[in-house]
Structure 1
Amino acid sequence: MSSVRKAPTGILGFPVAPFRTDGNLDEAALVKNIQFLLDEGLESIFIACGSGEFHSLTKQEYELMVEIAVSVTAGKVPVYTGVGGNLTQALEYARFSEEKGADGYLILPPYLIEGEQEGLVSYLKTIIESTSLNAIVYQRDNAILTLPSLQQLLALPQLVGLKDGHGNMEMNVQFTQTIGERLGWLNGMPMAEVTMPAYVSLGFNSYSSAISNYIPHISRMFYDALLSNNKELVRELYQHVILPINDIRKQKKGYAVSLIKAGMEIVGLPVGSTVRSPIIPVEKEHYQQLESILIAAFNRYPKVGQGVLS
């Protein structure tokens, strides 16, 4: 566990929750998923969050995923866990994360209820104060803070970042230009590569990359091109990889998760395609479309030393 009060930067790794065909968690596949992300140089691991089907995990599965992530990373990169839902569960998961040596947690929206700002601040403050771990607030769905509400939370040293999955750019300008470097700014929009050019100019220096689970070398190529202002390469990657995958992702609700598993299966990473309701597996037509995109992507942008899809 790190005592550094700073949010992770760069490309953030979000492992999936691999399930066997019997529906149980596949521990070996999770280890391989995390190790793959580490080998590819991702700067942090966020375990049991949205991509990890937080909503569907039992307490035992959640604890096992956290233990595996902390063990496999072995201090190489920060480990953040997902906490959220009802307040009692969120506090329990936050304390467990601290006990097991995580570096921090991403606070997901509270269950169902859309409260007033006062109630949302109280929810977040209670969780953040419950441990000494770093905390990142996830701005999305029924958890949308105003600037005054976010400023109230700045008194808590544990708060190190805000991850935006809401996409209100006027609000993001207001946040970043008022608060500045007191917080780390993370892009958490669905398929964040699509919106990252707009976020970089505001001071967002990290993002959660779904495609890094199966084509991390392209995610890295895109981010490096973006930071170096290589507009030609950014446009090329949009045209041939990012936007075509995003077009598939938008076809069905829940593809933000199941399409990751499909991509991993296509490139030979053994996590299976099983997802839990209400998420549905990727339909055959869309699976084949993704496969064609990935084959073309590996041909156009080969990965040195790896024969996946060859």
Structure 2
Amino acid sequence: MAGGVLSFPLAAFRDDGTLDPDGQRAYLARRLAAGPGAPIAALGIPACSSAVHAFTPEIADACFTALRDGDHTTVDTLLRDFHVPFVELRDRTPGYAVSLVKAAARLRGRPVGPVRAPPLTDPSPSDLTDLKALLAAGLDLVGAAL
């Protein structure tokens, strides 16, 4: 069974250190889990954070809006044409969960450095080409550009 870590910014907490549900919801509403978004929404959880938001907030926001509004056609299109292919690319090589996020951020003009330690490796030239094409296609789905 896969595990995970939930983390929230300080804005999600009250001055006394307890979790502020309204602050938490406001934070989560700005972030969306890419692939697992639909099942999470089906459980009644309004949203959660996604690495996709770090390099293509336009896609994450479009997916969140579609989930919130019940636009299943858009959710299905984004999952089929962007999120699932991204997961498949990520799964090609151990460590790509981090390196693809950094590579995608660089492709979007953000100044991030290379990965720092094994098993993390920067994407191969072929995978980087695939990532760039996937980003361009995904952004095109939401009316944005690389």
Deviation at 1:246, TM superposition (A): 1.1
Which structure has the larger Rg over C-alpha atoms? 1
Provide Cα deviations, 1:152-190, integer angstroms capped at 9, x if missing partner: xxxxxxxxxxxxxxxxxxxxxxxxxxxxxxxxxxx9xxx
The SS at the match of 2:81 is helix
Which of residues 40, 51, 68 is equivalent to 1:199?
A: 40
For 2:37 and 2:93, locate their aligned partners in 1 and report how far apart those are by CA, in whole Å: 22
Which of residues 44, 52, 56 is equivalent to 1:215?
A: 56
Deviation at 1:10, TM superposition (A): 5.8
Which of residues 103, 110, 129 is equivalent to 1:262?
A: 103
Considering fraction of residues, name the structure with more strand: 1
CA RMSD of the aligned region, Å? 2.4
Counterpart in 1 of 2:81?
A: 240
What are structure 2's unaligned runs of at least 5 residues? 1-9
Counterpart in 1 of 2:25?
A: 9
Deviation at 1:194, TM superposition (A): 1.3
The runs of at least 4 aligned residues of structure 1 exceeding 6 Å deviation read none
For 2:26 and 2:129, locate their aligned partners in 1 and report how far apart those are by CA, in whole Å: 31
Tell me: CA distance 1:201–1:259, structure 2 relative to 1, closer, same or farther (3 Å). Answer: same
For 2:69 and 2:82, locate their aligned partners in 1 and report how far apart those are by CA, in whole Å: 19
TM-score normalised by L of structure 2:
0.76
- What amino acid is aligned across from residue 19 of structure 2 in structure 1? R
Deviation at 1:288, TM superposition (A): 0.8
Deviation at 1:207, TM superposition (A): 1.4
The SS at the match of 1:193 is coil
What are structure 1's unaligned runs of at least 5 residues? 13-40, 44-186
Provide Cα deviations, 1:48-67, integer angstroms capped at 9, x if missing partner: xxxxxxxxxxxxxxxxxxxx
Counterpart in 1 of 2:6?
A: none
Counterpart in 1 of 2:114?
A: 273
Deviation at 1:11, TM superposition (A): 6.1
Considering fraction of residues, name the structure with more helix: 2
For 1:196 and 1:297, locate their aligned partners in 2 and report how far apart those are by CA, in whole Å: 16
Instruction: Report % sequence identity.
Output: 25
For 1:11 and 1:217, locate their aligned partners in 2 and report how far apart those are by CA, in whole Å: 16
| Aligned residues of 2:55 and 2:105 also touching (Cα < 8 A) | yes
TM-score normalised by L of structure 1:
0.38
Deviation at 1:273, TM superposition (A): 2.6
* 1:230 and 2:81 correspond: no
Provide Cα deviations, 1:11-56, integer angstroms capped at 9, x if missing partner: 65xxxxxxxxxxxxxxxxxxxxxxxxxxxx946xxxxxxxxxxxxx
Deviation at 1:199, TM superposition (A): 1.7
For 1:212 and 1:236, locate their aligned partners in 2 and report how far apart those are by CA, in whole Å: 17
Deviation at 1:236, TM superposition (A): 1.1
Tell me: CA distance 1:281–1:10, structure 2 relative to 1, closer, same or farther (3 Å). Answer: farther
